[in-house]
Every structure is written in structure tokens, then in C-alpha cells.
Structure 1
Amino acid sequence: MDTSDVRHNLPVNRRNFLGFGIALAAGTAASGPRPVFAIISALRAAQGKATLWPVTCRDAMLRRSGAAHCWEAMTLYGVDGVESDITDDLTLPNLYGDVSPFSVSSREDRDRLRAALEKAGKKITAFCMHNRLDERPEFEVEWCSRVAEAASDLGVPAIRIDVVPRKIPREEFLPFAAEILRKVIAATEKTGIRFAIENHGNTTNNPEFLDALFSRVGSPRLGLTLDTGNFYWFGHPLSHLYEIYEHFAPRVFHTHCKSINYPAEEREKQRPMGWEYSKYHCPIYQGDIDFGRVLAILKKANYSNDLCIENEMLGRLSAEEAAKTVSQEVAFLREKQAELV
């Protein structure tokens, strides 16, 4: 590789990036987890400043690497950080391997986490809340407020939230969801933190529902965790996905990068919700979704957070296979970014 690209902060040549991606796959398969780290380090060094966004992953994926420590797992995967699950009591259960669990419930807890992140050279790009809005509305507003305060203190730019009907019938859920989210936005105004609804399930994968909800709440701090695969899972035809991504791109505060590899004859159909997902979901570099096109849409909309990998097939892989797969997904997203710079 011509290292002058790096010294002069020029975009890395696409052929070099592709070569590193191929080397990553071959080296990992031949020699196990340690070469993954070496190749990822070389890949990141070669890339220099030719990036737009950090590449992260769901922290729920870390244990699948087989690493004894969450920071080790992040290094093994080659990610810049994670989206971190957060519990009702503000514990971060998937940042594992330390003497005691990480929490953000107090200033001392946050200082401890901040120090660990700085030492590891990693970041948290979103907190992931698993909300039950219609089951415990008063608690949810209070919980969102506490998480937003912690996010503000730690510099976490977004909070991924669930907006899912659990108790209220779906046809009656929109006015309730709008009312409680207005309360959440009002209660967290001083923090400035942005809340990012994930499109998933049978409700928020419907663009009409999302449009109506955003309109009723009327806040620029309410947006989307764009899950690229979930809109496809819902049944939207492949070519229609990019229209949806473009429509919501100005409201995207966080992402889940995910894909599916459907048979060619099924891609442009309106399929039943969730059709054959367990059979066809796959790493993003093997799927139908054109991530070069997705990233171009995000860039045009001035997106400013991370590219967060959510691979839901890791449970059927060995630790070595999981490390190889996620590392290849990271390399893939870095290559796609380099093509845009």
C-alpha cells in the first residue's frame, strides 16, 4: 500500500480498501482471532481520516466474540464503540468483564465509565432503552429523564427508544404515543438529547405511522434509529426502501446496519411481515441492501452519528466465526465510507 495516502490525509484508494477486506477474511479464517486484530489495526491505519462516521455495534453482540472483556471484544471486532443497553436502574449490563457492573446512575458511576472508555479508546454512541410506554407511562417519563441526564453528562448523542403498543390496541396507540413523547421531550428539554425511535415490529415500520407521530409531537429532538433491515423485514419491496430511507434521513439520529438476502424473485414483492427472516438474514456484506446508496443518502442529509452494526445471526456462529463476520462487516462499512469521501 502507498502510505502517502495516509500521510497527506487523502482518501484511501478503493482497491487498497478492497484488498484489506479480502485479506481480513483470509487471515481470520486461517489463523483465528489474533490476526483479526492485526488486520483491523492495519485497515484503520490505512484509512487515515477518510471516514464520515464511527463504526460501532450493538453491545449485545460483544460476548459472541468469546473475549473475556467487553473492551477486548470491541478491539477484536475493530469497532469504535457501541450502542449500550441500559436498564431501569441505569446499569449497562453488556459492558462486561470488570470487577463490578458499569452504571450511569451517579456522577461517580459516570466518571468511572468515562475513565474506562477513555482508557480503551472507545465511545458509546447511543443508549438503548427497552421502553414499555403504555404499561408504565409515569415511570417511563422519569426513566427517560434520568437516561437523558446521563447521556448529556457523558456526551452520548442519542437515545434509542421503543415505541411499541403492548397494552393499548394498535389502532388506538398513536394519540397515546404522541402524548407521552411530548412529555418526555418536555421533561428532557435542558439536556438537548435526541430520542431516536427504532423502526421495528408491526407499528413503527409503517412510514405513515412515523410521519403522523413526528407531526403530532412536533419536536426536532425526536427522530429515528434507522434500522435498514427492519423496513425490509416488514415487507417493503427492495427498491422502495431507498425512498423510505431518503424520506426519513433528516430525522435519523442513530442507525442499525442490518440486511437480508432474499431470493431474487421475492425482493420486489410486498411480502408478509417477517417472511422467512430466520432463513435469509445475513451479514450486511452478503445482503440485498446497497449500503453505498444508504450511506450516500445519510451523507446528503448531514447525518452525524455512527454506523451501528446489528447482526442477529451471531448466535448460530462459533466465537471465531462471529469475530470474523463482524470484522468483515466493519471493513465493509469503512470501505463504503471511503468511496464517499
Structure 2
Amino acid sequence: MSLNFDRRKFMLGCAAATAATGGVGSPGKHASAIEPIARNGSHKFKLSLAAYSYRDLLTGDPAELTLADFVDDCAKMNLDATELTSYYFPADTTDADLRKLKQQCFHLGLSVSGTAVGNDFGFPPGAERDRQIADVKRWIDRAEVLGAPVIRIFAGKPKQGQSQQQTHDLMVEGIEACCQYAGEHGIHLALENHGGPTSTAEGVLSFVRDVRSPWFGVNLDSGNFYYDDPYTDLAKIAPYALNVQVKVVTSNNEERTNKQPTDYDRLARILKDSNYRGYIVLEYEEAGDPRTECPKHLAEIRKAFA
């Protein structure tokens, strides 16, 4: 699943054109739009579970579970894949460890849907920025070993003294540098809508317009637009999704004090209308034992996305 190499062409009649206006971006691009990811005209959904869902079980000294245990649970839930989120790998993980986990997934009939890094491209030139880019590239190498086709990345946060445009340009440059490396290894980078400059559809689309790489796209997170009706903006970024992360609730504020159950049926219609073909990854963040709660929500998601 790759981006169209001609996706920089103007599409004055594209549905995303309206959403693309008014955001931060390079001069002269505000009224333009890009081509959505090339599909074949029909949707296809595969189910996965993010290791972040087991975060409390995978951390601690000692941790209650290992990633191998998580993979076993994914197989028990009869999933198509597992997302092996980078945060839960031991610091001393080797390529041999990655290959062993990959073999376990294969023996259990699971693909590795992807991984994620907690990067920040908002830093100005210097040691910290270099470290952020190096860490993403390190996980590109690891994703290649795991057979993970996509890595969830983040834009980062504005830093003190930066203008909005300076922040945007720094983030675009960081993403492009990593995309060039990712493409050399056959890995896609998917930018998550996750606060700051990516807290709105317009913000996400400003990066989609300005990052110049066929290995770049969006990680659509259903729970990270904090409006009364987040589905309108989710529909705007859906045509550019390389990966879809599903939360079990939405909220109209970042404090998440007003939670509403995710409308799985509506989300499924949005992705069907955009002919999305790829992974639907449950990321469970709520209270309760995820080993009990995740199967319940996966049953609802299966029904909605059938």
C-alpha cells in the first residue's frame, strides 16, 4: 500500500481541497490539494491490536507480561496482526530478538501491522534534533527486521521562541529526512493526528501537502480529534490513511472528561467511503483489564467493519 508518486499534482475538484485551505503550509499551496492514496475502488479491513493497550502489563519491574505473551493473546483473539509498539521492547533488544518475535507471529498466523515511535521533530538544529531523527531511523531498521510495513510517527511540539511557520518547516524537514531513509528500507511513515500542529484535520493536511515523499501518509486515530463531532474531520484525513488506530471512546476535550462511546458503524462507513484497505488497530486506553476488555470491543469492531 503506497502513496501515488504523482500525488503532488493539483486536484481542484478533490474533496480534500476545502479542508486544505487556511492551514500552515508553503506559500501558494493553501488552496491546493493532493491526490489520495491510490486504492482499487473497494475497501478491505484487517484487525490488529496495539501493544499500547497492554501498557500496564508490559511495564513495571518486573513486568507482568512480555511482548511474546501479548502476541500469544493476539492469536487467541483470532486477529490478523499485532502492532508491536516500540515502547515495550527492552533497551537491550537485538535483531535476533526481533527475528524470534517475528517467527512467533508467523507460526501463529499473525502479521506485524506496524510499530510506533514517540518522536518530536519540533526541536531546532542541534544534538536533540539529531537524536530524535536517529531514533526514528533506528526503528526503521527494526521495522524492516520485524516485517512491519508502517511506523506511527508524531510531528512533535512547538518550542519556545519559534513561529508557527518555523515549527511547521522544522517538522516537515524532519519527516522528509526520515522518509528518505524509510523508503530505502521499504517502510512507510504515518503521521498521527495527536495534538499540537496535528490537532485538526487542517493541521494534518498541511503536512500531507508539504512533505514530499511517496513513503508518507496519515495514521488516523479515531480518538484524537477533540470536538463534539470528530467524525467530520476524520473523514477529511481518511483518504490519506496508511494505518487506522481505533479508540473505544471519543471526547470533546483533551482532558477526556466528557467521553462518548466510539460510533464504530459511522467510522466504518467513513473508511468504506474512502476505500481504505489496511489495518484497523484497536488501541485500548480505558479502565479495566485489557485482556478482558479488548476481546469485547474487538467483537463490536468486527461487526461494524464486516
Secondary structure of 1:127 counterpart = strand
- Residues in 2 aligned to 1:210 and 1:247: alpha-carbon distance in whole angstroms: 10
1:197 equivalenced with 2:185 (yes/no)? no
CA distance in 1, matches of 2:209, 2:198: 14
Q: Distance in 2 between matches of 1:164 and 1:211?
A: 15
Question: C-alpha separation between the residues in 2 aligned to 1:141 and 1:254?
Answer: 21
Q: Counterpart of 1:245?
A: 234
Q: Which residue of 2 aligns with 1:145?
A: 137
**1:78 positional shift:** 4.5
Counterpart mapping for 1:24-103 below 5 A: 52-62=44-54, 69-86=69-86, 92-93=89-90, 103=93
Unpaired stretches in structure 1, ≥5 consecutive residues: 1-50, 94-100, 263-270
Distance 2:105 2:212 in 1: 35
Q: Tell me the secondary structure at the aligned position of residue 278 of structure 2.
A: coil
Give distance in 1, aligned partners of 2:231 and 2:187: 27
Asked if the contact 1:58/1:309 (under 8 Å) is kept, the reply is yes
Structure 1 residues 271-302: Cα deviation after superposition (integer angstroms, max 9, x where no partner): 5x425x1x4446xxxx1x43223223223333
CA distance in 1, matches of 2:296, 2:112: 21
Structure 2 distance, partners of 1:333, 1:121, is: 20
**What TM-score do you get using the length of structure 2 for normalisation?**
0.71
Q: Aligned partners of 1:201, 1:63: CA distance in 2, in Å?
A: 21
Q: SS of the residue aligned with 1:293?
A: helix
1:309 aligns with one of 276, 282, 303: 282
Aligned AA (2:85): D
| TM-fit CA distance, 1:230 | 1.0
Give the SS at the match of 1:125: strand
Cα deviations by residue, 1:296-319 (Å, 9 ceiling, x for unpaired):
3223333232111112113xx2x4
RMSD, aligned α-carbons = 2.9
- Name 2:150's counterpart in structure 1: 158
Q: Which has the larger radius of gyration?
A: 1
One-letter code of the match for 1:53?
F
Matches of 2:181 and 2:234, distance apart in 1 = 29
SS in 1 for 2:233: helix
Instruction: Indicate the percent of aligned positions where both proteins have the same amino acid.
Output: 21
Given that residues 71 and 82 in structure 2 are in contact (C-alpha distance below 8 angstroms), is that contact kept between their aligned partners in structure 1?
no
Partner of 2:99, secondary structure, is helix
Counterpart for residue 254 of structure 2: 274
Q: Secondary structure at the match of 1:244?
A: helix
TM-score (norm 1): 0.64
Do the aligned partners of residues 63 and 86 (structure 1) sit closer, same or farther apart at CA in structure 2, a change above 3 Å counting? closer
Q: Is the 8 A contact 1:157 1:305 kept in 2?
A: no
Query: Structure 1: how far apart are the matches of 2:52 and 2:204?
Result: 26
Do residues 290 (structure 1) and 270 (structure 2) align?
A: no
Cα distance in 1, alignment partners of residues 281 and 178 from structure 2: 25
